Amino acid sequence: MLKRHARAACTALAAAGLLLAGTGGATADPAPAPAVPSAAATLRTADAAPELLAAMQRDLGLTTTQAKARLVHEAEAGATAARLRDRLGAAFAGAWVDGADSAVLTVATTRAADTAAIRAAGARAELVPRALADLDGAKAALDRAAGPATPVRYVDPRSNTLVVEETEAGAAARLLAATGTDAALVTVVRTAEAPRPLYDLRGGDAYYMNGSGRCSVGFPVTRGTVHGFATAGHCGRAGTTTTGFNRVAQGSFQASVFPGSDMAWVAANANWSSTPFVKGSGGANVQVSGSVLQPVGASVCRSGSTTGWHCGTIQQHNTSVTYPEGTISGVTRTTVCAEPGDSGGSYISGSQAQGVTSGGSGNCSSGGTTFFQPLNPILSAYGLTLKVGGSDPGPGPGPEPEPGGTWKAGTVYAAGATVTHGGSTYRCIQGHQAQTGWEPPNVPALWQRV
């Protein structure tokens, strides 16, 4: 559907050009308007590493063409869905992509009057009875009372229900009764395996805690002049010392949260430097250029020190998981496999950092489900700056606005945040860490002028 609307837009522009060319000859044609950067250009999907594309082909059954197209479509779908979420407000009920190359974006709403606007934006409209905010509210009540027998809860936008996984018969029913949750909102799924943190364990490189247990580096970061990396909280506590993949002294955990969340960061000593890379297939470097979270259905690849590169898709955001150690909330559920030792490792979509491996079930032989702690909350909580690479995207269309305002590179902005820049006000439509070149007027995929 996105492809069709893109072709229609091009046809309309071409027709407009012919009409202008046919009008009076006394006046010179106006200069063409500068091109607006696409979401795919902003997120640099064309820079996807061959190793990432190869892993997508292997794990998602794609051709090279489909893998490249998928990254473009997912970037554009994320921006379109974000704009529609901003427009629909309380009626928004979720969004997801489908198809081998993610060419179909569906946006759900509780308000019939919204369907025309959704279709006009190039998406498929679905009318549903429950808003996303209402289902999220019901999930929050379950999260407060859930135990190990109901280890996973998430909102599934495709079914417009709250899904509760149970490891023993009747556990979900007891949870619903204890919280007074309407059973009509809930789909119960029986599961034989409960998620657990993947303890035994560049992005993806190994590191060792206190000389024994092993985890994986998430994403290299800086904090002022200090270099280090983000990783999973369950891998260590503040003060835990680390050695690198080569068993050379590396640094120590500065802060850690687990359970509740699964986030931590390690400050490295002067012998280690942060790079804008994740370890890809065969040890090749895969470049990181930002931290824009991708939509449900989007492809995502993981790097870990046990199983290396594996890819899958994003199933749900804002999932809650109850491990034996306690509950964590706000993680993302995926179809990517992982095994002990992969904990803390990198999840990346195209060149956009997504999060760090928390835990899961299954393995990379038979398949499994894993969860990642989104990266942007880690960056925000600890005042970290993601190490990114790639050429500066340069100024956006038209003259650069006068400097000034509240927007600041290095700040992590959540969807809905507002800033001023160049005398105008902008609202964030996709959460990300700001960087030079991503000033609000330059990146309509991330900011909407209000």
- Residues known to be catalytic: 234, 262, 343
- What spatial distance separates the first Cα and last Cα of the chain, rounded to whole Å? 28
Round to whole Å and give the CA distance between 55 and 52.
5
Host H or E run for residue 92: strand 92-98
Nearest alpha carbon to residue 244 among 214, 277, 265, 219: 214
Nearest alpha carbon to residue 431 among 62, 86, 168: 86
Under DSSP, is residue 104 helix (H, G, I), strand (E, B) or coil? strand
Give me the helices (H) in 212-331, please: none
Distance of CA 57 to the CA centre of its chain: 20
Q: How far is CA 290 from each of CA 354, 434, 437, rounded to the nearest angstrom?
A: 9, 8, 11
Host H or E run for residue 312: strand 308-323
Host H or E run for residue 375: helix 375-382
Under DSSP, is residue 199 helix (H, G, I), strand (E, B) or coil? coil
